[in-house]
Structure 1
Amino acid sequence: MYEFTEDFKLRRITKYELDGVDERDDLVVIPPSSRAGPCGSYCLFCYLRQNPPEMIYRVSFHDTLNDPELERRIAYVSEHYPELWIRVTDTAGNVGLDEKRIESLQNAGLDEMQISVHTTKKEKRIALMRSPLAGKLIDLLPFVARTFRVIADIILTPGYNVDDIGEIIEDLASMDVAEVRLFPVGVTRYNRDVRPLTRDELIFVKETALDVGNETGIKVVIPPIFKALLGEFRLDVGPFEIEPGMPTYILTGELAYPELRRIFPRIPVVAVKNEFFGGNIGTAGLLTGRDVLRTVEKLPEVDLGLVLLPELMFYGDRTLDGFTREELVSRILVEKGYIVESALEPVEIPRVLEKVGAI
Structure 2
Amino acid sequence: MALSLPVQSHEPGLVPALERRKPKNLVEAVREGSVAASAGLCVGDRVLSVNGAPLRDIVDWRFHTAGEQIELAFEREGDRRFVILDKGYDEDLGLSFADDLFDNIHICKNKCVFCFLYQQPKGLRPSLYIKDDDYRLSFLHGNYVTLTNLKEGELDRICEQKLSPMFVSIHATDPIVRGKMLGRKQPEPVLPILNRLADAGIQIHGQVVLCPGYNDGEHLEQTVAELADLNPEARGTYGGVVSLAVVPIGITQFRERLAPVTVVSPGYSSTILDWAETQRERFRRTLGSRFLFFSDEFYLGAKRDVPPRSHYEGFPQLEDGVGLVRLFLDDLEKVARKLPRSLSAPRSYTIVTGESAAPLLTRFAEVMSRVEGLSVNVCVVHNFFFEGNITVAGLLVGKDIVRVVSEHPEAGETIILPSVMMRDGENVFLDEMTLPQVEQQLGKRVIAVERTPSAAAAAMLGDESVVLQVR
The interval holding the TM-score normalised by the smaller chain is 0.7 to 0.9
Change (3 A) 1:31 1:263: farther
Question: Secondary structure in 2 aligned to 1:130?
Answer: coil
1:77-135 per-residue CA deviation (whole Å, 9 max, x = no partner) reads xxxxxxxx96652311111154x533311322312110000011111111111114661
Q: What is aligned with 1:312?
A: 420
Q: What is aligned with 2:396?
A: 287
- Under a length normalisation based on structure 1, what TM-score does the superposition of the two structures give? 0.77
Letter of the aligned partner of 2:133 in structure 1? D
Where structure 1 has 5 or more consecutive residues not aligned to the other structure, the ranges are 11-29, 75-84
Larger Rg: 2
Q: What is aligned with 2:280?
A: 213
Distance 1:274 1:222 in 2: 24
Matching of residues 63-212 of structure 1 within 5 Å: 63-65=133-135, 70=136, 88-98=142-152, 100-132=153-185, 135-147=188-200, 148-164=202-218, 165-176=220-231, 177-191=241-255, 193-212=260-279
Task: Name which of 132, 137, 158 aligns with 1:62.
Answer: 132
Contact 1:113 1:150 in 2 (8 A): yes
Distance 2:362 2:410 in 1: 22
Question: Secondary structure in 1 aligned to 2:351?
Answer: strand
Change (3 A) 1:33 1:138: farther
Letter of the aligned partner of 2:197 in structure 1? V
Task: Name which of 323, 335, 340 aligns with 2:446.
Answer: 340
Return the offset for 1:166: 2.4
Distance 1:51 1:119 in 2: 25
Change (3 A) 1:279 1:125: closer
- Under a length normalisation based on structure 2, what TM-score does the superposition of the two structures give? 0.60
Q: Does 2:320 correspond to 1:256? A: no
More displaced, 150-159 or 272-281?
272-281
Distance 1:6 1:91 in 2: 23
Q: In percent, how many aligned pairs have the same letter?
A: 21
Question: Secondary structure in 2 aligned to 1:328?
Answer: helix
Where structure 2 has 5 or more consecutive residues not aligned to the other structure, the ranges are 1-23, 30-98, 232-240, 306-324, 370-375, 467-471
Contact 1:157 1:185 in 2 (8 A): yes
Task: Name which of 436, 456, 459 aligns with 1:349.
Answer: 456
Contact 1:115 1:152 in 2 (8 A): yes
Q: What is aligned with 1:321?
A: 431
Contact 2:134 2:145 in 1 (8 A): yes
Question: Secondary structure in 2 aligned to 1:39?
Answer: coil
Distance 1:301 1:198 in 2: 32
Return the offset for 1:200: 2.4
Distance 2:413 2:169 in 1: 44
Give the alignment's Cα RMSD to 1 decimal: 3.1
Counting matched residue pairs gives 314
Distance 2:27 2:124 in 1: 29
